Amino acid sequence: MHGLLIVKSLLVRVFLIAHGLICAWRVVDTNDNQYCWVILVGLGFLLIETGIVIWLRNGREFKTYEKQQQQQNYYYY
């Protein structure tokens, strides 16, 4: 089960990184301004978040984890 969660998490992040790279490339190409590559700094934060989700949370997304906790708390009352 954890393997499927990790694959889903990685797949989403690969698409987000590809989207970010294509968008930054198009902005630089259109504006002829090399300083626009700074847009990619945000992808660094995405990579950090990817590490947290994959290694520390075993592929469980933050929203999913919160929903599971709420459901568990509901049963205790």
The predicted-structure confidence for 15-51, as pLDDT tens digits, reads as follows: 999 999 999 999 999 998 888 899 899 999 999 988 8
Average pLDDT, whole number, for the chain?
A: 82
- pTM for the model: 0.70
In the chain, what are the domain boundaries?
2-76
Task: Give 32-76 as a DSSP string.
Answer: T-GGGGGGGHHHHHHHHHHHIIIIISTT--HHHHHHHHHHHHHHH
DSSP 8-class letter at 57: S
pLDDT of residue 68: 59
Evaluate whether 61 touches 53 at the Cβ level (below 8 Å).
yes
Vertex 44: Cα angle to 35 and 30 (nearest 5): 30
DSSP 8-class letter at 77: -
Answer yes or no: is pLDDT of 70 > 70: no
pLDDT of residue 69: 60
pLDDT-derived band at 71 (thresholds 50, 70, 90) equals low
DSSP 8-class letter at 37: G
